[in-house]
């Protein structure tokens, strides 16, 4: 679209007249107008007013290789010219998803050798939910269909995704969630650990909430447990090291399938190709999307572990589920090229051994002592900064979320895009960030915190 034809004000007016944005208070948007992003290059985005903003959110947790990658545009263009689309129903296939599937099986944990494609993380989780229930039905146990999930979890915005997620505001608008999904506490030590409770003990207690839910329902009624290795949209909640091994032990003890949602953590964000490796988790399904194409095309891949895949094949019978665009050749061609870039530039290793540790160190060193900061935490290039009124007691400013929102607004105005969840500032930048980019982000975060502190100090 030639935006030169329109003034920014006109574009904003048309936007609010015709475009219903996701997760938006439309009354509020209409009053203020949307921020118009018009271009991206490397780690930066540019708005219609010409401001250069360092993108601390990688688009929306997805642009792992950064903006302006000609190779990805070329891959899409070549595939569109050759074969823009053909479906993968009715025993048909096309070369791009075949090649991508082989590559994914090579990168994934050893028991993951099959993928089911969709266009979004939400769709992939819908597939995952149907698949685990179908698995137990094929195994002759259709009554084993409860899925245990967690408060603060985010698994997408379709009815299945929102039902799996642990966001009460979303549940309220569902008009009835998908049945047989129960939620347990999150491994969020900063807010939920008891006074004096060690991280280790808190992690075990949070994991045992899963066991309590299994025992309450009866193990013969529980199909699976689902969780993000690190909760993303819920506020980059990183579990204590004791949490995942205990969840794994519990799932194995009661023969409960373990579903991982790696829509955010997949493809390098935590310093391994998959956070399953970072946390040593052996899963039965892994949901991925976003960074699979670095967001250049909409594509999701649900990894289906050998246990489920073998039952599907051996027992046979049609699985009545799938999407028109499953294995879309253009999206898959872009994904292949994107994985090639991540590999050839060593981005995963760089996050693991250089930029991840450096981000963690710099956040602690430069922000940790700030009067507004209760905690900084990160894993790979995924970080959170807790904004508090009182560092000792961890009391928050009121109304909840207002202080972090103030910091965020100053950060964006100062040239750093970050996001806010309640009173937590979160970041998940492209994996191309260097030490210099991290320094620049920290400069801008410190400036934003100082500006916010100037307003908030009087409210203590």
Binding residues vs ligand PLP (CB under 6 A): 120-122, 125, 154-156, 161, 228, 232-233, 261, 263-264, 289
Q: Which residue's CB comes closest to ligand PLP?
A: 121
Residue 271's CB is within 10 A of a number of other CB atoms, namely 24
Cβ proximity to ligand PLP: between 126 and 423 the closer is 126
| Residue 187, phi then psi, degrees to nearest 5 | -85, 65
CB of 423 to ligand PLP, least distance (A): 20
CB of 371 to ligand PLP, least distance (A): 31
Q: Is the peptide bond before 399 cis (omega within 30 degrees of 0)?
A: yes
Residue 169 zone, left/alpha/beta (φ > 0; ψ -120 to 50; rest): alpha
CB of 285 to ligand PLP, least distance (A): 12
Cβ proximity to ligand PLP: between 36 and 60 the closer is 60
CB of 218 to ligand PLP, least distance (A): 28
| Residue 334, phi then psi, degrees to nearest 5 | -65, -40
Cβ proximity to ligand PLP: between 152 and 202 the closer is 152
Which helix (H) or strand (E) is 282 found in, with range?
none
Write 401-410 long-range contacts (CB < 8 A, 24+): 403/372, 403/452, 403/456, 406/452, 406/455, 406/456, 407/372, 407/448, 407/449, 407/452, 408/448, 410/447, 410/448, 410/449, 410/451, 410/452
CB of 161 to ligand PLP, least distance (A): 6
Q: At what angle do helices 329-344 and 95-107 cross, to 10 degrees?
A: 40
CB of 127 to ligand PLP, least distance (A): 12
Cβ proximity to ligand PLP: between 223 and 231 the closer is 231
Contact, 224 vs 125, CB < 8 A?
Answer: no
Cβ proximity to ligand PLP: between 54 and 426 the closer is 426
Cβ proximity to ligand PLP: between 109 and 232 the closer is 232
Residue 364's CB is within 10 A of a number of other CB atoms, namely 15
């Amino acid at each position: 679209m030639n935006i030169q034809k329109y003034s920014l004000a006109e574009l904003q007016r048309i936007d609010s007249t015709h475009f219903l944005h996701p997760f938006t208070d439309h009354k509020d948007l209409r009053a203020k107008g949307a921020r118009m992003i018009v271009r991206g290059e490397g780690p930066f985005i540019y708005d219609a007013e010409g401001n250069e903003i360092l993108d601390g959110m990688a688009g929306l947790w997805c642009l792992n290789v950064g903006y302006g990658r000609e190779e990805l545009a070329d891959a899409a263009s070549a595939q569109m010219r050759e074969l823009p689309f053909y479906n993968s129903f009715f025993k048909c296939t096309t070369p791009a998803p075949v090649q991508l599937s082989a590559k994914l099986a090579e990168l994934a944990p050893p028991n993951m050798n099959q993928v089911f494609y969709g266009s979004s993380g939400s769709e992939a989780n819908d597939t995952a939910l149907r698949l685990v229930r179908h698995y137990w039905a094929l195994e002759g146990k259709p009554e084993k269909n409860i899925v245990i999930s967690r408060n603060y979890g985010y698994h997408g915005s379709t009815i299945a995704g929102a039902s799996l997620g642990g966001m009460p505001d979303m549940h309220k608008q569902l008009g009835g969630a998908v049945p047989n999904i129960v939620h347990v506490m999150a491994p969020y030590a900063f807010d939920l650990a008891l006074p004096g409770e060690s991280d280790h003990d808190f992690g075990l207690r949070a994991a045992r909430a899963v066991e309590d839910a299994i025992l309450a329902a009866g193990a013969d009624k529980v199909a699976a447990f689902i969780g993000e290795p690190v909760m993303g949209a819920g506020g980059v909640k990183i579990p204590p090291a004791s949490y995942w091994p205990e969840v794994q032990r519990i799932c194995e003890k009661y023969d409960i399938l373990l579903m991982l949602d790696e829509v955010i953590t997949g493809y390098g964000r935590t310093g391994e190709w998959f956070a399953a490796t970072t946390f040593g988790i052996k899963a039965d399904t892994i949901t991925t999307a976003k960074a699979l194409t670095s967001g250049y095309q909409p594509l999701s891949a649900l990894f289906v572990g050998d246990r489920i895949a073998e039952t599907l094949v051996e027992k046979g019978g049609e699985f009545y589920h799938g999407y028109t665009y499953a294995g879309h050749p253009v999206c898959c061609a872009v994904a292949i090229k994107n994985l090639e870039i991540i590999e050839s530039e060593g981005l995963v290793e760089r996050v693991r051994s250089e930029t991840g540790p450096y981000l963690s160190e710099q956040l602690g060193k430069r922000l940790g002592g700030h009067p507004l900061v209760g905690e900084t935490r990160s894993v790979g290039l995924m970080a959170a900064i807790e904004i508090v009124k009182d560092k000792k007691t961890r009391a928050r400013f009121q109304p909840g979320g207002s202080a972090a929102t103030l910091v965020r607004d100053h950060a964006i105005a100062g040239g750093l895009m970050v996001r806010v969840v309640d009173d937590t500032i979160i970041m998940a930048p492209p994996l191309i960030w260097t030490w210099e980019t991290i320094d620049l982000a920290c400069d801008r975060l410190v400036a934003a915190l100082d500006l916010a502190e100037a307003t908030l100090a009087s409210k203590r």
